[in-house]
Structure 1
């Protein structure tokens, strides 16, 4: 009979146990994305970027053929990271780019969370490669998109079959916080939720405005 303890499961992410890799959130890639609306995709990209920045998660920003074809990374991401340099590639598979791999090794985290465009190419490639080399891979499914729902869903299935763990954008933020008693990030987390957390964010705003209420009893 196992003994329960008040400790989180090892598969739950924390701000210090992973890096975030944001891949090809660029205009040319977004134009052909049909599995998620551009508005929701941009919202979710902003949500996870602000979450990572708030919790000081090491983050790699990478583009493909930025100047010659695909265009700049979404402003929502660029603004969150305050002008952090982009690692531009020629390879569709981020994992085959030496500069990206150098940065992954420099950061030195065994767990990697991925998000970007397109799911079936630019996310499957590095997820499969990372798993093959012994990394623990996660992907934020609603911050990824593809040229069709079919393409996105088959890519998600493939990554799960390989052992990657799917997440959602709001889940990513709340899993980083995980305890409302963590007052040092409480205001930032609820602020991000209110702006980019959809209906949940509206609920936080409503409760605070109407009743002075808040998560965990904080005023």
Structure 2
């Protein structure tokens, strides 16, 4: 899992979706990574002068993750960040972040060139405008990235609601971040196991 610049200063600039929803989706992605033991690499940029640190709800979910601070837009060109990704030993990357047009798309395109399989959690990425966000998503997809959502990412890992070892964590993420689906899971539990 690669979290790119999930920082408040950049969220202010994201006009492609509701900022609260973007933050909630990013937290759902981070919680999913934790629930399923997916290694997480996070990056920040200009954290002292503009963008701020990794957003507090993400820091709360990922207390052991220290974001890599970098100067260039493409984290793939930052030696420390790229080394951490390579050291994780995974050839499939799941990426979310801000802003879609540059800080997300540039490393995605670079990783694809190097033979990585890359999935972009589109609803946990934000761009300046809806049109520019969508154009960046299309560009990454045309280059070979797979577009997904935070919920699809979680459900692909869970695969079956009878997988007991991850059920409660996965269910809790959906209840907290899944809108009507989460409400439905609570309703189903109340109907099956009334208090």
Q: Same fold by TM (over 0.5)? A: yes
The answer to whether 1:75 aligns with 2:56 is yes
Residue equivalent to 1:38: 19
- What is the match of residue 133 of structure 2? 152
- Residue 84 of structure 1 deviates from its aligned partner by 1.8
Q: Structure 2 CA distance, aligned partners of 1:131 and 1:69?
A: 29
Q: Normalised by the size of structure 2, how large is the TM-score? A: 0.96
Deviation at 1:68, TM superposition (A): 2.2
In structure 2, distance between residues paired with 1:81 and 1:31: 22
Once residues 135 and 97 of structure 1 are traced to their aligned partners in structure 2, the CA distance between those partners, rounded to angstroms, is 17
| 2:118/2:146 contact within 8 Å kept | yes
5+ long unaligned stretches in structure 2: none
Query: SS at the partner of 1:144?
Result: strand
What is the CA-CA distance between 1:212 and the residue it aligns to? 2.5
Does the 8 Å contact 1:45/1:76 carry over to 2?
A: no
Aligned partner of 2:9 in structure 1 is 28
Partners of 1:98 and 1:91 lie apart in 2 by 11
Task: Give distance in 1, aligned partners of 2:70 and 2:29.
Answer: 22
Normalized against structure 1, the TM-score is what?
A: 0.86
Q: How many residues align?
A: 194
Q: Cα RMSD (Å) of the superposition?
A: 1.1
Q: Secondary structure at the match of 2:191?
A: helix
Question: Which entry has the higher C-alpha Rg, 1 or 2?
Answer: 1
Alignment correspondent of 2:181: 200
Separation in structure 1 between the aligned mates of residue 94 and residue 44 of structure 2, nearest angstrom? 16
Q: Please, which runs of 5 or more residues in structure 1 have no aligned partner? A: 1-19, 214-219
Find 1:124's aligned residue among 83, 97, 105. 105
* DSSP-derived class of the 1:66 partner: coil
Task: Give the C-alpha shift of residue 76 in structure 1.
Answer: 1.8
Residues 60-209 of structure 1: pairs in structure 2 closer than 5 A: 60-209=41-190
Question: How far does residue 158 in structure 1 lie from its aligned partner after superposition?
Answer: 0.3
